[in-house]
Structure 1
Amino acid sequence: MALKTTLDFLKTEAASGVVLGLAAVAALIVANSPLAADYIGWLKSEHVLQIGPLMLELTISEWIKEGLMAIFFLVVGLEIKYEILKGELSDPRKLATPVLAAAGGMIAPAAVYLAVSGLLNGPHGGWPIPLATDIAFALAVFAVAARKLPSSLRVFLLTLAIVDDLGAIALIAVLFSSGVDWVPLAWVTGLLAVGGVFARLRRVAAPFWVLGFGLIWYLTVLSGLSTSLTAVAFALIVPVANRTDDDQSPLKEAMHDLHPYVAYLVLPLFAFAKAGVSFAGLSLEQALAPLVLGIALGLFIGKQIGVFGAAWLASALKIGRRPTDATWLELYGVSLLCGVGFTMSLFVGLLAFPGAIDSVEQVEVKLGVLGGSFLSAVAGAAVLVVATRRRKNLAEAATDTRTD
Structure 2
Amino acid sequence: MPIIEIRLSPTFKRFLSSGQASGILLLACTALSLLITNSPFGKAYLHAWHANVAGLPVEVWVNDGLMAIFFLLIGLELKRELYVGELSNIRHALLPIIAALGGIVVPAGIHFLLNNGTPTQPGIGIPMATDIAFALGVLALLGDRVPASLKVFLAALAVIDDLGAIILIALFYSGALAWSYLGAALVVMAILLMLNRWRVMVLWPYLLGGLVMWSCMLKSGVHATIAGVLLAFTIPFTGKSEDEHSPSHRLEGWLQYPVSFGIMPIFALANTGVIIQPDVLSLISSANGIGIFTGLLIGKPVGIFLASAAALLLRVCQMPLDLNWKHLLGAGMLGGIGFTMSIFITNLAFPEDVLIVSASKMTILLASLTAGVIGFLWLKFFGQPDVADRDLETMDYATTSP
Cα drift, residue 380 of structure 1: 2.1
**How far apart in 2 are the matches of 1:137 and 1:229?**
20
1:370 aligned onto 2:368: no
1:42 aligned onto 2:48: yes
**How far apart in 2 are the matches of 1:210 and 1:124?**
38
Corresponding position of 2:329: 332
Query: Match for 1:69 among 51, 67, 76?
Result: 67
Q: What is the TM-score when the length of structure 1 is the normalising length?
A: 0.79
Name the stretch that deviates more: 148-157 or 197-206: 148-157
Query: Match for 1:109 among 107, 110, 123?
Result: 107
**How far apart in 1 are the matches of 2:62 and 2:244?**
35
Number of residue pairs aligned between Structure 1 and Structure 2: 373
Structure 1 alignment gaps of length 5 or more: 1-7, 49-56, 397-404
Corresponding position of 2:35: 29
1:231 aligned onto 2:228: yes
Structure 2 alignment gaps of length 5 or more: 1-13, 391-402
Residues 66/16 of structure 1: CA separation in 2 closer, same or farther (3 Å cut): same
SS, match of residue 203 in structure 1: coil
Name the stretch that deviates more: 74-83 or 340-349: 340-349
Deviations 1:87-141 (A, max 9, x none): 22211133333333332222211332344569xx987726605433153554453
**How far apart in 1 are the matches of 2:130 and 2:61?**
19
Larger-Rg structure:
1
Amino acid at match of 2:378: V
Residues 313/165 of structure 1: CA separation in 2 closer, same or farther (3 Å cut): same
Residues 309/249 of structure 1: CA separation in 2 closer, same or farther (3 Å cut): same
Deviations 1:227-273 (A, max 9, x none): 33232222122222189xx9622222111122121121111111111
Preserved contact between residue 350 and residue 362 of structure 1 (Cα < 8 Å): yes
SS, match of residue 233 in structure 2: helix
Name the stretch that deviates more: 197-206 or 265-274: 197-206
Query: Match for 2:250 among 250, 253, 278?
Result: 253
Residues 267/346 of structure 1: CA separation in 2 closer, same or farther (3 Å cut): closer
Query: Match for 1:15 among 9, 21, 32?
Result: 21
Query: Match for 1:384 among 379, 382, 391?
Result: 379
Amino acid at match of 1:293: I
Preserved contact between residue 336 and residue 376 of structure 1 (Cα < 8 Å): yes
Corresponding position of 1:294: 291
SS, match of residue 385 in structure 2: helix
Query: Match for 2:131 among 118, 128, 135?
Result: 135
Deviations 1:358-390 (A, max 9, x none): 3xx5565345333322222222232333355x2
**How far apart in 2 are the matches of 1:242 and 1:123?**
46
Q: State the superposition RMSD in angstroms.
A: 3.4
**How far apart in 2 are the matches of 1:44 and 1:97?**
43
**How far apart in 2 are the matches of 1:174 and 1:287?**
27
Residues 219/15 of structure 1: CA separation in 2 closer, same or farther (3 Å cut): same
Residues 362/21 of structure 1: CA separation in 2 closer, same or farther (3 Å cut): closer
**How far apart in 1 are the matches of 2:170 and 2:245?**
38
Identity of aligned residues (%): 31
**How far apart in 2 are the matches of 1:323 and 1:66?**
38
Query: Match for 2:214 among 217, 229, 232?
Result: 217
Amino acid at match of 1:132: M
- Could you list the runs of 4 or more consecutive aligned residues of structure 1 that deviate by over 6 angstroms after TM superposition? 121-124
Corresponding position of 1:53: none
Preserved contact between residue 128 and residue 295 of structure 2 (Cα < 8 Å): no
Corresponding position of 1:262: 259
Amino acid at match of 1:135: D
**How far apart in 2 are the matches of 1:336 and 1:329?**
11
Cα drift, residue 25 of structure 1: 1.2
